[in-house]
Structure 1
């Protein structure tokens, strides 16, 4: 599924992180990617992040998954909503939704959360720190949007739900199946199901905070520093007051830190690994049987297609015109020549068809080794 008559350049210049946009049924044909029963089944599985939100005015309830299989049979008549994170990691048809939004770089895409709600169900008025495309899958939902929020906004007294205490909507739309609503960061919004069988696909984007970057980058830096790399002052002179930390000492101490932090190349390599780290590291996607280079060569010669694992994250940084650093699931690979060409393609194409017999036979050993490494860590599969 791809967006029809959608001007991505205009959207990025006029709407992205600036103002909301309602996009009425931009698909050539819309087909809901996952059935409600299948979503409920995922919510019962260990290793899948899910939440059940119930409303019994004026109280809100929250249950974290995995949910018991009979939980949905015991729900009463009060409104409720089921939320399941990273459904794109488990259902290829949901992962395919992301291809319509690749005008945003891969490293910014987080996951696809899917919600199912009965009549009146929702998660309450709230705001997010990231951009989101809300794709209506089934049924109808009323979306109300309000003002821009910040950390000083008043919230309801609930320990696990950050709901706005005073929500004043300024815009309202009713979305039908196939409609999309884009909501920029920190815009207050509230979605309410109109009728039963309401499904919404929330395509969220990553937005690392400065605190998050400093915390994780500093941890990585510290792990690689030597204990003997310490402050020295062989030219120490007697001070008038021993209690003073003099400007020269401060300058040297500050320099010790900044020369490490300002290493742009090291930061880029760290960020590539950090940003592509698996969302759920507890899930092992590695194949039962590892593959050697000859196995990869033979499969490709037979016409195998390289498939990206929907749960894997792929990005690259260009180092020179003919070399890139490829980052996949927290691992980095230095790629040059044909290997770099394949690395760029595999970041852009979820299904990589190498083409003619000649192009497949031209794959050199480093390129085949790269494919084998990605296969053995569960980041790609080969489909004949």
Structure 2
């Protein structure tokens, strides 16, 4: 992707201009971001996904002034009739289950994969919505079917209505209002309050981004660092030949405290270990994701990553689905191209080393990637 090339998706801005002017800064309304756009899945397909046990879904209803929330799986009998007003079904991670949805998400790959999260699609009856709220992450709201009226504002008062199953703002203060039609898109930075209400039957695609909090990210990284440290065969054991008899056995010896501090410092001292732990954590597949092993054999003229596969890299490593590999030279360049473009063609594979081809074949066998013979 040429990030300097203007695109209709961003209203004539290039990805570089958008990131400089709007990302994390201010909203952007784009009319006809994708001309002639239709949702990647139909209403029937979306509601079928909502009934699956391995798909995260929610049903939100607003009736008689009351908000109701039900988490999936949602059998068809749990979903109101299409003529009933003010209900919404939201399905997370549609890109993990549908190729067209995955392709739509990749249009936004001008943001690092480490930040790109998933494609959520919502279906709403007339008047349906989730109430005025704000998110702590960036989001692109792409209208897929029907019309949705959005009111947005820089919310100063973050107080929520108490006693509700949803996080709805108590005093929403909209500043702008837009009606989006199919193909229109609205970008909102973190913290911008918004309230979208369906005007008739409505489907909206939400491209969301990961915003890990410091504590959660530290937890994931430190767990992996600790696991790696536990695998060390030559890790020193605590010894206390100078320990004297004590009349206070409940007191932790100062020498043991120092030993523990040194152990943690030793585990964190290697920057490469931290980098590996971060890459593995960022590429860990989402819960309820599994891969189907591919049948053996077949000519490998083209390799395409599975839509559920997460693949990233840093200067010294390749990361894929929670695993890390050291990489250098031409093979590292090849694997980085695969991580960036999610596919390798015949010319690229022809230059791959035997070791790289063997690794790609193993990923194909595991279902992480797929070999194609169609060129």
TM-score bracket relative to the smaller structure: 0.7 to 0.9
Provide Cα deviations, 1:263-307, integer angstroms capped at 9, x if missing partner.
321111001111111113x33213253x4xxx3xx512xxx4322
Shift of 1:328: 1.1
- Which structure 2 residues correspond to residues 212-361 of structure 1 after superposition, within 5 A? 212-225=216-229, 229=236, 256-280=263-287, 282-287=288-293, 289=295, 291=296, 295=297, 299-300=299-300, 304-319=301-316, 325-355=317-347, 360-361=349-350
Contact 1:149/1:187 (CA < 8 Å) preserved in 2? no
Provide Cα deviations, 1:166-208, integer angstroms capped at 9, x if missing partner.
2111221111111111111122111111112x11111011111
Shift of 1:8: 1.3
- Which structure 2 residues correspond to residues 1-384 of structure 1 after superposition, within 5 A? 3=9, 5-27=12-34, 29-72=36-79, 74=81, 77-148=84-155, 153-158=158-163, 160-196=165-201, 198-225=202-229, 229=236, 256-280=263-287, 282-287=288-293, 289=295, 291=296, 295=297, 299-300=299-300, 304-319=301-316, 325-355=317-347, 360-383=349-372, 384=374
Consecutive unaligned residues of structure 2, counting only runs of 5 or more, are: 1-6, 245-250
CA root-mean-square deviation: 3.1
Contact 2:94/2:101 (CA < 8 Å) preserved in 1? yes
Cα gap change, 1:75 to 1:361, in 2 (>3 Å): closer
> Structure 1 stretches (4+) deviating beyond 6 angstroms?
230-237, 244-253
SS of structure 1 residue aligned to 2:314: strand
Shift of 1:27: 2.8
Shift of 1:75: 6.8
Contact 2:140/2:206 (CA < 8 Å) preserved in 1? yes
TM-score (norm 1): 0.83
Contact 2:142/2:183 (CA < 8 Å) preserved in 1? yes
Q: Which residue of 1 aligns with 2:3?
A: none
Cα gap change, 1:145 to 1:130, in 2 (>3 Å): same
TM-score (norm 2): 0.85
Consecutive unaligned residues of structure 1, counting only runs of 5 or more, are: 238-243, 320-324
Give the number of equivalent residue pairs. Answer: 361
